Amino acid sequence: MSETIDTIDADQEDVTPADGEAGEQKAGGGEDILVQEGDIAGDYLERLLDLLDYDGDIDLDVEAGRAIVSIDGGEDLEKLVGPRGTVLEALQELTRLAVQQETGSRSRLMLDIAGWRADRREELRELGRSTAESVLKSGERVRLQPMSPFERKVVHDAVATVSGVTSESEGEDPKRRVVIFPED
């Protein structure tokens, strides 16, 4: 997978000293630690697929300081995505916990199943750009539907490509949403 996917919304991240130290260790330890995380995650997910009797090919990659794990190829994989990616988000957190249990440090690995994140990312980019252009023309702020941190990050990045508008997140999870408005 050649596309970098980021789930952390800058205004949402809760970094404790242990998290910061783990990040420094990963940066200093280089790609080897991220490859190890990917291997642990791949083994965990392979066992899960075996338990469910689902087919799927697991691909491991390292990009932008993060292990990327993707599962493709099986007919049943859509069930592991769930409505609006809710099952995928839960599986990602479980996989991160499995990696943390083995490595002792917090993981930022990213999981994609059946290309859902890649497809959703493109939809959200278009939503962010088109809404930003609409706000620029109308001068009226727009509140989007509640989104996950991954979704908000993609929308914020897309809005940032349109001059004259800006965005911020408001509200509390699970009802946290992006608001797009004209710059002053």
- CB-based contact 145:137 (threshold 8 Å): no
Amino acid at 182: P
Per cent of the chain over pLDDT 90 is 74
Q: How much is the pLDDT for 16? A: 30
Q: How much is the pLDDT for 148? A: 87
Own/partner contacts of 115-124, CB < 8 Å, gap of 24 or more, are 115/70, 115/72, 116/81, 116/85, 116/88, 117/5, 117/85, 117/88, 117/150, 118/1, 118/3, 118/5, 120/85, 120/151, 120/154, 121/3, 121/5, 121/154, 124/151, 124/154, 124/155, 124/158
Structure confidence by residue, pLDDT tens digits, 140-183: 999 999 998 889 999 999 999 999 999 999 999 889 999 999 99
pLDDT at 119 exceeding the cut of 60: yes
pLDDT at 6 exceeding the cut of 90: no
The rounded mean pLDDT for the chain is: 85
Own/partner contacts of 36-40, CB < 8 Å, gap of 24 or more, are 36/103, 37/67, 37/99, 37/103, 37/107, 37/109, 38/62, 38/67, 38/68, 38/69, 38/109, 40/98, 40/99, 40/102, 40/103
Amino acid at 74: G
pLDDT at 7 exceeding the cut of 70: no
Structure confidence by residue, pLDDT tens digits, 51-71: 999 999 999 999 888 999 999
pLDDT at 4 exceeding the cut of 80: no
Q: How much is the pLDDT for 74? A: 79
Average pLDDT over residues 126-142: 97
Is the pTM for the entire model greater than 0.85?
A: no
List of residues 6+ apart from 81 with CB closer than 8 A? 87, 88, 113, 114, 116
pLDDT at 9 exceeding the cut of 50: no
Amino acid at 94: L
- CB-based contact 182:167 (threshold 8 Å): no
Per cent of the chain over pLDDT 70 is 84
pLDDT at 18 exceeding the cut of 90: no
Better-scored residue on pLDDT, 12 or 64: 64
The pLDDT-based confidence of 29 (bands split at 50, 70, 90) is low
